[in-house]
Each structure stands twice: as C-alpha cells, then as structure tokens.
A and B are shown apart, each in its own frame.
Chain A
C-alpha cells in the first residue's frame, strides 16, 4: 500500500471534470450528487429529523387537549380532518420524511458497520452518551411503534372498541388496557433517548454551530426532549390513574 496519487484522487476543476456525470450543475443531479456522499445522507437525516421533531411537538400539544374534556378533543380531531387535501398533504410529507430518514439511516449504519470489519476486543466509551450509541436501536423501535400507533388510534385495526370521530373515547378505552399504556410509555422513553441525541446533533449535521449559542442549542434540545416525553406519557398515565375517564 503506497500513498501514491491515483487519477481519481485529483481535485476536479471546470477544466478537468471529464468522467463526471453529464451536468452536475443541474439542480436534480446536484441533489443526488450531494446525497451520494455520507455527509449528504446526514443532511437528509437532519432535515427529516427536524420534520419529525416539529411534528412531535405539535402532536403533543394537540393531544394535551384530552385534559380539556371530550368536546374539545373531538372538535380538535374534526378540525384536523376538515380539509382532506391538507390532511393528506401533511400525511404524505410525514410519510416521505419517515421513509427518507429510515433509508438514509440504514445506508449510514451499513457504511459504518463495513468500516470496521474486525471489531475491538476492548472498547470503552469516553465521551459518547448512551443516547448517541443507541440511535440505531431507538430509531427502528420508534418506527415499529409508529406503525402500531397508527393501527391503534388512527385506523383502529388494533383497537378493541374503535369509534370513528370519537377521539376521546378511543384514547380512554385504548389506554385502560394496562399493557398498551406500558408499550406507549416505554416507546416514549425511547423517543426521549432518540431526541436527546437527535434534536441536538441535527444542528451540527448541517453546520449550525457557533461557540456563542452552542450551549443554547444543547439546552433547547434537552428542554424539548423532556417536555415532549413528559407531555406524551402524562396521557396514558392519567387514564390509568382515573384522572381522565
């Protein structure tokens, strides 16, 4: 193995870009070219992850209306469904985000696994968090949970007594089953782990980083992680404790 320069190692300039795809200046080709690199896949992770974080904050705030009573919650549900076009536009955006996030995550994980074919006999973490090392598990677990959640409270296929339009009833009867509530609570703890690392690192992945406000980014990410987890968990626990009925 020598450090000799190979033809493909040279810097490419406008005058020597022979061998490259037809026109890298075309917007679509440029996007694919960026995604082709591992860094480009990280941009995709950060952007789709941001969509997820934004959604999860709004979803939690909307869901907390369960504490305001059946009338308020069911009116909120009706509002979300009032504009079919908008509803499906949002659903498609969310679905596309989840799919791209998962595909990019798989491609990145595979590249990283291949980069170390023979593992260490001894490796000790020094600075990484459990959250960062668990991303490849917490992600798929959340993916499976999302599928279950949609079957449980959106389509009703996994719900014992689903009534279309009666969101309050679906939530209360759904969470009265203790092991269903347990699944939700555990899933939300995994969400907390996933967000603790993801909501912070997504900024660095696209280069939003400055010593002046790096501490603020870490603080905001932690704050929203805690708020989101507590907000979500409060609902099944409130049902089990009889606070909501």
Chain B
C-alpha cells in the first residue's frame, strides 16, 4: 500500500515547526505504524535528509515511550493500544495520515515528534511513591489485601506514563495520569501512612507544571493504551478533598 503522510517537523525546541508531506511507498499491512515510519526514514537517509525523530523503545505497548497524534487521535484509531501496537492494516491504500506530537505547555517539543515529558516525572517525584527503607524483602503475604482492592489498584497501576491523556484532553489536563498513581497507592496498605500528603503534593505538582483542569470530557480514558478509567479521577478528587480536611490527621 502507498500512503500520503503529513508529519510535523521541528528542528529543535526554539524553532517554529510545520507539516511536511511525505510519500510512504511499498508499505505492507503487517508493518506496525512505527515500522512504516522507519521505512520512510530509510528513504530520508538515502536522500541525505534528516529522518523524522520519534520516541520508541519496547514497541509492545508497555514502556510508554512512543506517542503521537494520528489523524487527530492520540495513539491512532485502535482502542487500548499504543501507537507501536497499531498496524498498517488499520489504514487503507492511498489514505492520508496527519501526524503531530503531543501538544502541551508542559511537554515542550524537543524535535519533530519527540516531546519532553519530564513534567510527569516531577509529578511522581512529588509523592508518587511510598517511603520505605530498603533491605531484606519482607514476606509479602503477611499484609492482607482483598482481591477486589488488589485488582482495582492494579487497574490504576497499569499507567505507562505515555502522556496520551494529556495530549487528547481538550483542557490539557494530566488528571488521569496523576489520579492513576494517587489511586494505586491510596488503595494499598503500604500507601496509607503518606496518603494525605501524597495527594496534596501531587495535585500541587500537577498544577505547577502548567497542565489544565479536568472537566470530565473523558477523552483521556478513550485514548489510554491501558484503558484506565476516569473513575480514578473522581477518586483523586475525593482523596484531595479528604486530605484537605484531615491533612495531618494521618
């Protein structure tokens, strides 16, 4: 199959960017989307031109490195999949594909489709962990947790920090990302001692990075490669409210 691509090119953080047209030729339906970009880049290199820069690592939907807007949808048309899990059989011969990077003030573009997502790291550093001394591993089964609670916490823990939620949100909010970490740790025994200060600190960090406010559009949930639910955002809202009135009562 042959496709017409319009890809955002930007040489560095300070330069303005723009869409550039490319022809993707001799693409097979079994190629992944990123493989297709690799093929386009091979031709770029052969022609002595700068290849399109984009992030990828595991290429199996678990690391959170890859991410781009494909025809206006974060990670493309496949639900519950990152762009590395999208295959060219999802597109038709001669189709036009528009590719843009994640857009947010908190995700400055480094080059082309590569954005700096360290803002998410700083939110995690502000409280997305439990403070426990390292040493010998304790016997895990002595702390009892119900299966329902474990399953719910794991649903939240599935977040791979790709940033698609921020990219898709009309408000540019990082609520789903922050909520997944807050919820995961608030649901589990080890997360209890720091539960209140964690949510206050992480919500403050989220605001500080310049993300927008959540108004429940639910775009985030729809594009999340791990299909994380907006119910966790409601849970975070409750945790923040609770913490505001019982802050040091923990």
Contact = CB atoms under 8 A, between A and B. Distances in A.
Given A122-B72, A122-B98, A127-B222, A1 B235 contact: no
Given A11-B194, A207-B237, A209-B235, A128 B170 contact: yes
A43 B244 CA distance: 12
10 contacts: A11-B198, A43-B237, A111-B213, A112-B170, A119-B103, A120-B103, A122-B71, A133-B170, A200-B216, A207-B236
Contacts of A14: 248
Nearest to B197: A11
B103 A1 contact: no
Contacts of A41: 213
A24 interface: yes
A45 to B, nearest CB: 8
A24 B213 CA distance: 23
A13 B108 CA distance: 32
B104 interface: yes
Nearest to B106: A115
A120 B103 CA distance: 7
Given A42-B213, A127-B221, A207-B235, A1 B241 contact: no
Closest 8 CB pairs of A and B: A207-B238, A115-B172, A112-B212, A209-B234, A124-B72, A127-B222, A128-B217, A112-B171
A209 B197 contact: no
A39 interface: yes
Given A11-B198, A43-B241, A124 B71 contact: yes
A214 interface: yes
B231 interface: yes
Interface string A108-151: 10011111111111111111110011010000000000000000
A42 B214 contact: yes
Contacts of B172: 112, 115-116
Contacts of B47: none
Contact of A5 (B71, B73, B125, B237): B125
Given A205-B237, A206-B237, A122 B100 contact: yes
Given A112-B171, A208-B234, 4 more contacts: A12-B201, A126-B168, A126-B219, A133-B170
B127 interface: yes
Q: Select the residue from A42, A124, A203 with max chain B CB neighbours within 10 A.
A: A124
A41 B213 CA distance: 9
A116 B103 contact: yes
Interface in A2-48: 2-3, 5-6, 8-14, 24-25, 30, 33-34, 37-43
A123 B213 contact: no
A172 B201 CA distance: 56
Contact of B241 (A128, A206, A209): A206
A96 B82 CA distance: 46
Contacts of B192: none
A43 to B, nearest CB: 6
Interface in B68-97: 69, 71-73
A197 interface: yes
A205 B208 CA distance: 20
A209 B72 contact: no
B156 to A, nearest CB: 14
A120 B100 contact: yes
A206 B211 CA distance: 19
Nearest to A207: B238
A206 B238 contact: yes
Contacts of A242: none
Interface in A46-73: none
A115 B173 contact: yes
Contact of B173 (A10, A112, A203): A112
Contact of B237 (A1, A42, A122): A42
